[in-house]
Amino acid sequence: MTANKQWVAGVDGCPGGWIVVIRHLDDASSATIRLLASFADVLALEPSPAVISVDMPIGLPEIADIGGRRADIEARANLGARQSSIFAVPSRAAVMQADYRDACAIAFATSDPPRKVSKQCFNLFPKIREIDALMSPHLQRRVHETHPEVAFWALNGERPLDEPKKVKSRPHEPGLALRRRLLAAAGYDPEFLRDMSAFRPRDVGPDDLLDAAVCAWSAARIAIGHGRRFPAEPSLDAKGLRMEIWG
């Protein structure tokens, strides 16, 4: 499959699978949205996006340091009150566990200092495993880990946002409105950013759409060489994958 250099995509994991915003490299108003069942379906998109930015860890450590990977630490340092949105990525061995108690035990044995994993982090493990099974250094040329809050920081003139998108796990309208304004200023159709009519609320939340849209914005920046990467010189995991976060 040949990548089409005129198209990019932003991807966010959601309860219903993977929400994907596909847009023309130079025109955010061209954005369309898809809900796909698997990340393999994302990779099989036609036209094939030249750059895919996904909100999910790529590159997993063997031993998890305090604060996570260097990418997690450096990206988190820019986010002010939004720092907690970047969790410390556990070891690959912990992520491979399907049982929470097993994951905690393995995480404790493969972290320095020893620590378990939160239930919220554990709930992401199936999607992290899904990506990890598919990823290779060659594929990472076009598939990039991107964190939405880092992308919004970049979109906001490299300033952290002063409103969260959720409060107590519920959508926070002032934070969502702030993110919609930033995306509309970057060329997205305001109606597109609000239209959830194609999805069941249990499958896709309004924050998922905005996260995928800003990841697509980052994908366009990466495609033209303007993306911001943390760290500037990433290290490799045991599979040869770069451990990095783009904004």
Rg (alpha carbons) of the chain, rounded to whole number: 17
The token duo for 34 is 């898809």
Q: What pLDDT shows up at residue 5?
A: 82
Phi, psi of 144 (to 5 degrees): -125, 135
Q: Which of 197, 245, 240, 247 is nearest to 89 (CA)?
A: 245
Q: Which residues belong to CATH 3.30.420 in the chain?
A: 4-58+144-223
Q: Give tens-digit pLDDT for 153-187.
A: 999 999 999 999 999 889 999 999 999 999 999 99
Q: What pLDDT shows up at residue 60?
A: 98
Domain 4-58+144-223, second-level architecture:
2-Layer Sandwich (3.30)
CA–CA gap between residue 125 and residue 106 (Å, rounded): 13
pTM beyond 0.85: the answer is yes
**Kind and range of the H or E element at 24?**
strand 17-24
Q: Give tens-digit pLDDT for 26-70.
A: 999 999 999 999 999 999 999 899 999 999 999 999 999 999 999
Q: What pLDDT shows up at residue 144?
A: 98
